[in-house]
Structure 1
Amino acid sequence: MDGYKGVRKLEVKDFMIRDVITVKKETTIRELLKVLAHHRIGGVPVVDAEGKLLGMISDGDVIRFLQPKARTVYDFYITIVVNEQEDFNEKLVHSLDFPVEKIMKRRELYTVRPEDDFENALRILVKHHFKKLPVVNQAGRVVGVISRGDIMRQITDKLLNS
């Protein structure tokens, strides 16, 4: 009850997606790309057999892995389409069978808990330019994810339906 009488403080669980799509560290980049495309998402938590967070992997991580020299989308396009199509195709075919463990983000992983203050999650997303933030329980198991897109949809739905 902060600020407004009778108004409950917003918590992460009010905005998080509970049906979390995850992958294991052994998942290949090929399988990851299929998951991302099928679910129309940009990244997922990487978990162990018990559902504990090991890392995060995004479409951006895959792009940076495949084309580390590219600095912008334009550079990436020019490198692939104009300059090095054959080299890229060879690297792509070879790299698709690598496990996501090779390129997943392990350091500086930020998480929130379902009962955490929603504003804290927003601060983390904004400060670090994250698109997704895993939500973990006391045991470290992924129980949700909160993303900028989901937050915007929730806010829009609440504003338009009030």
Structure 2
Amino acid sequence: MYASDVMSTPAISVEPEMTVREVAKVFVEQKISGAPVVDAAGHIVGMISEGDLIHRTELDTDKPQRRGWLDLFSLGRDANEYVKSHGRKVADLMTTDVISVDEATPLAKVADLMETRRIKRVPVTREGNLVGIVTRANLVQALASMAEEPALDAAPTDREIRAMLMGELAGRSWAFAGRNIVVRDGVVHLWGMFQSADAVNAVRVAAEATPGVKRVEDHTETYPVVVSGL
């Protein structure tokens, strides 16, 4: 799936010259927690979110000014915090380092961007202009909309199930070397010895996700603990 398959469109956006209170009203009325900031040409120039609005002098939630000689090393941060808490326009508060994707970006890359950059929403652009937005909620909604089981033209045989599972496990560091997987009537039987319960769980998950599998039975054992010097 791609960004275009799950994005919300048209994306709700705000303008750099809007006031902080106007943006707060947009968030409340539209039931959103953040939005792209778009200029008159339709280009994204920033992002603003609820996090940019929580430390405000109007609410008496602005951060107190630091005191002491160590504050010499945080003058830039203090100045930025002052702008965030006292600025009246979106342009004063918005984040300008915007991460965006195009419509053909795979969802795997979108999810990776959200995780690595610790962001909750990613604007989607077409030729530089905003066309939609993908949020974490959009990804969850896409997951909820999927069929529980993929449609199969014909039930795979036990041999095909085993081949698919072994292929999925190939090259996985946690897939133990001494494994033995037996498939009978769509039931996967796991045999062998593991050093990690997490590895057993990962193999079980891989088996359950294999098309045609009815259930998984775990017959594995743990490696005996060897205490040296006894």
TM score, norm. by length of structure 1: 0.71
Higher relative contact order (CA 8 A, sep 6+): 1
Residue of structure 2 aligned with 1:128, choices 117, 133, 146:
117
Task: Give 1:63's aligned amino acid.
Answer: I
- Counterparts of 1:137-156 in structure 2, within 5 Å, are 137-138=126-127, 140-156=128-144
Task: Give 2:122's aligned amino acid.
Answer: L
Quote the Cα distance in structure 2 between the aligned partners of 1:69 and 1:134. Answer: 30
Task: Give 2:130's aligned amino acid.
Answer: V
Structure 2 match to 1:105: 95
Asked if structure 2 preserves the Cα contact closer than 8 Å seen for 1:65 and 1:103, the reply is no
Please report the RMSD computed on the Cα atoms of aligned residues, expressed in angstroms: 2.4
Question: What SS does structure 1 have at the residue aligned with 2:146?
Answer: helix
Deviation at 1:157, TM superposition (A): 2.1
1:158 aligns with 2:115: no
Gaps of 5+ in 1: 1-9, 71-93
Identity %: 28
Gaps of 5+ in 2: 65-84, 151-230
Quote the Cα distance in structure 2 between the aligned partners of 1:151 and 1:143. Answer: 17
Deviation at 1:160, TM superposition (A): 5.8
1:97-136 residue CA offsets vs partner (Å, 9 max, x unmatched): 81110000002x1110001111111100111121111111
Asked if structure 2 preserves the Cα contact closer than 8 Å seen for 1:20 and 1:145, the reply is yes
Structure 1 match to 2:5: 14
Change (3 A) 1:161 1:33: farther
1:8-38 residue CA offsets vs partner (Å, 9 max, x unmatched): xx11101111121101100111110000000
Change (3 A) 1:159 1:64: farther
**Which of the pair is proportionally richer in helix?**
1
Moved over 2 A (4+): 64-70, 159-162
Task: Give 2:109's aligned amino acid.
Answer: N
Structure 1 match to 2:15: 24
Structure 2 match to 1:69: 63
TM score, norm. by length of structure 2: 0.51
Residue of structure 2 aligned with 1:117, choices 96, 106, 118:
106
Instruction: Give the number of equivalent residue pairs.
Output: 128
Structure 1 match to 2:176: none
Question: What SS does structure 2 have at the residue aligned with 1:121?
Answer: helix
1:73-115 residue CA offsets vs partner (Å, 9 max, x unmatched): xxxxxxxxxxxxxxxxxxxxx95x81110000002x1110001
The structure having more radius of gyration, on CA atoms, is: 2
Quote the Cα distance in structure 2 between the aligned partners of 1:65 and 1:134. Answer: 26
Deviation at 1:159, TM superposition (A): 4.3
1:60 aligns with 2:51: yes
Asked if structure 2 preserves the Cα contact closer than 8 Å seen for 1:113 and 1:135, the reply is yes
Quote the Cα distance in structure 2 between the aligned partners of 1:129 and 1:68. Answer: 23
